[in-house]
Structures are given as C-alpha cells and as structure tokens.
Amino acid sequence: LNIKTISSDVEINGVNVEESKVETTSGRTEMVNCCVSNTIIETTSGNIKLGGGALFDVNIKSVSGGVYAEQFVNNNMTVDTVSGSTIVCYDGGHPVNVGIKSTSGNVTVKLPESISGFTLNTNTTVGIVSSEFALSINNVYGDGSKKINVTTVSGAINIKKI
C-alpha cells in the first residue's frame, strides 16, 4: 500500500498488508483497525492518528503536526516530530522498543500497569521528565526488558499508567 497526497486527508481502515507507506503534505492521516508489518508515515502540516489493529514496525516523521496512537499492538515504534505533540497509548499491548524525538512538542507515553518492565532513556533541553511508574535510580522499572527512548528539545516527557 503506497499513498502520496497534497492537500488531502488519508483515511485507511481495516487493511491487512505487509507494508504501507503514506506521504502527505497539508493533510490528516488516519489509520485504524489495520494489520501491517511495516508502516512508514511521513507528513508535513498534518496530524496523524493510529488506532486499533496491529502495526508491528512503525516509523513516523512529522513536521508541524501531532501524533496520536492508541489501542493497537505494536513491537517497534520510531517517531520524529518537529512542532507537534506526541501521545502514544499502549492499551492494546506492550511495546518492545519505542524511540521518540521531538523538537518543540510534548511527548506522552501511556503504558499498562501490567507491563513487565522497561528501561527509560530521556534527554530534554527545556522540559521536565515525569513518570507515574516507580523507576530505579537508573530509570528502570520492573525487569527493564522494554526500551523507551525519548528526546525533546523543547517539551515535557511524561510516562503515564493506563
């Protein structure tokens, strides 16, 4: 599945494919109830919403738009944003590797209380880091098996319980 648009929204619902690539300029991207092994989404001036289904390897690049992902199963996610907030809610399963880089935008990662553990690596120039999980001095929770890396230039980093 390969979609490229200018000044148009993209709505993808219920597809089951090996790979998907969506490139938009000035348009919203919504991907719900899909099963995709490898997903690439690149946007300029448009929000991204992912929900439901299973997106196993996700790579998102966004300039001037927010990223919101919820209720999906995901193993690996990479998000790189400029001027937009990122909210990733793992209420459909547990991540393996999460990497989020943000220039001028807050980042929130919501994890189930039942997660076996994660190691949190953060770096922010201007912004606070908060976690609702009891982290060790080395930013490890539980068994530390999942990896969460978040970097912001100007934005808060929030790790929350679902």
**pLDDT digit string (tens) for 21-79?**
999 999 999 999 999 999 999 999 999 999 888 888 999 999 999 999 987 777 789 99
Closest CA to 22 of 44, 34, 40, 48: 40
71 with 92: CB under 8 angstroms?
yes
pLDDT at position 149 over 90: yes
pLDDT on residue 91: 77
2 burial (CB, 10 Å; 0-12 / 13-18 / 19+) is exposed
pLDDT on residue 92: 67
What is the arithmetic mean of pLDDT over 145-160? Answer: 96
Report how far residue 59's alpha carbon sits from residue 150's, in angstroms, rounded to the nearest whole number.
Answer: 14
Report how far residue 11's alpha carbon sits from residue 22's, in angstroms, rounded to the nearest whole number.
Answer: 10
What is the arithmetic mean of pLDDT over 114-138? Answer: 95
pLDDT on residue 89: 92
Task: Count the Cβ atoms, other than its own, within 10 Å of residue 116.
Answer: 11
Please write the tens of the pLDDT for every residue from 76-107: 899 999 999 999 998 767 788 999 999 999 99
pLDDT on residue 96: 82
| Residues recorded for the chain | 162
